[in-house]
Amino acid sequence: MLADLIESLAKIVFIFTVNVGVFAPILGWVERKQSAVMQDRIGANRADILGFTAIGLFHSLADAVKLLTKEDFVPANANKFFHTLAPFIALVPAISAFAIIPFGGRYELFGREINLVIADLDVGILYVFALAGLATYGTVLAGWSSRSNWSLLGGLRASAQMLSYEVAMGLSIIGIIIVYGSLRLTDIGAAQENFFRWGIFLQPVGFIIYMTCAIAENKRIPFDIPEAESELVAGYFTEYSGMKFVMFWMAEFLEMVTISAIVTTLFFGAWHIPFVTDAMLLSWFSGFAGPNGAAALAMAVNIAVFFAKVSFFIWLQMTIRWTLPRFRYDQVMRMCWKMLLPLSLINLSITGLVVLLL
């Protein structure tokens, strides 16, 4: 009991450090740097400590200090309670959604089985969707409670867009669940040990629908009409400043990490290296490291592989963000209801038929 608690606390601290301590601040810098590279600029490289610039990495630190010392602004007519509650509701699901995502397999370490997931829930992926649904409240409340025209329009657009894409997103991964027969992400990850059983080969259409819906759900370009700087100033978070603004911004980056992790787990073999099974990895390492050392090394390799894949999909989302222009609102809604929803229904019907016939 106590050992279980210590183990899960260790995993929580690890994931919390990686997400909130590493990904969230670094991604802000990565996004600026990538936009600079793609637009042929030099980019964020000015912040320095005693002359060391560390290729601009100190900008995250500078941003944190600057935003922490900014005035916390609440408009005079705003509903102060909901105005404060909105970033809270936006950030909490974004941080805790990672709890059910496995970042490694199962290992036998000193006679104790370690399952590298914070909570191996039987509802699995539904937990993520439930929390993604909660994030809608944060956005809509932020837009409504600010009592500003820009914010209200942004909140309205966000409500319709996020609700619509949630439906198509939920249906897009039904194919994966049919194929692997489980909602548990650990089961789905373990089923992809064989390279040719990866989700992307079995459900290519599902992957495209899921990725599109997830980016739309996260309100990033090309689906950033709730924020649309050129139309709505900053959309639903126009009236936010200081750390409350950072919370929306952090929620967006953490959702990006979560989306990448889900895509990795469902479609790209989770923690597996192509053509290398867990048993092969263990037998290679046990030659020189002994059984416990081999398990620890395999664990480290699998975690590294998992986060390398996650980083790749974060890069992909950032590339999409700096490549495509923003869609019009009617285009966004048409794409969801008239293309993605029928397509995901057809995809799940055909998947079911093929699985039964084979």
Q: For residues 241-270, which are near other proteins according to CB under 8 A?
A: 242-244, 246-247
Q: What is the DSSP string of 247-260?
A: HHHHHHHHHHHHHH
CA gap 19, 259 in Å, rounded: 13
Please tell me whether residue 355 binds other proteins under the rule CB under 8 A: yes
Q: What is the DSSP string of 299-341?
A: HHHHHHHHHHHHHHHHHHHHHHHHHSPPPPHHHHHHIIIIIIH
> What x/- string results for residues 176 through 205 when contact with other proteins is judged by CB under 8 A?
-xx--xxx----------------------
Dihedral sign, Cα of residue 170, residue 171, residue 176, residue 180:
positive
Among 14, 16, 137, 327, binds other proteins (CB under 8 A): 16
Q: Which is nearer to other proteins, 322 or 329 (CB)?
A: 329
Among 113, 275, 356, 358, binds other proteins (CB under 8 A): 356
Q: Which is nearer to other proteins, 16 or 195 (CB)?
A: 16
Near other proteins by CB under 8 A, which window of 46-54, 174-182, 213-221, 267-275?
A: 174-182
Among 41, 46, 70, 112, binds other proteins (CB under 8 A): 70
Neighbour tally for 224: CB within 10 Å = 23
Near other proteins by CB under 8 A, which window of 34-42, 82-90, 278-286, 311-319?
A: 82-90
Give least dist CB 60 to other proteins, A. Answer: 15
Q: Which of residues 307-346 bind other proteins (CB under 8 A)?
A: 329-330, 333-334, 337-338, 341-342, 345
Near other proteins by CB under 8 A, which window of 86-94, 204-212, 261-269, 315-323?
A: 86-94
> What x/- string results for residues 19 through 58 when contact with other proteins is judged by CB under 8 A?
-x--------------------------------------
CA gap 336, 343 in Å, rounded: 10
Q: Which is nearer to other proteins, 194 or 349 (CB)?
A: 349
CA gap 194, 146 in Å, rounded: 51
Interhelix angle 24-38/278-323, nearest 10 degrees:
60
**Total site size for other proteins, rule CB under 8 A:** 85
CA gap 304, 300 in Å, rounded: 6
CA gap 317, 320 in Å, rounded: 5
Question: Is residue 322 exposed (0-12), middle (13-18) or buried (19+ Cβ within 10 Å)?
Answer: middle
CA gap 46, 68 in Å, rounded: 20
Give least dist CB 133 to other proteins, A. Answer: 9
Q: Which of residues 104-163 bind other proteins (CB under 8 A)?
A: 118-122, 126-127, 146-152, 156, 159-160, 163
Give least dist CB 71 to other proteins, A. Answer: 5
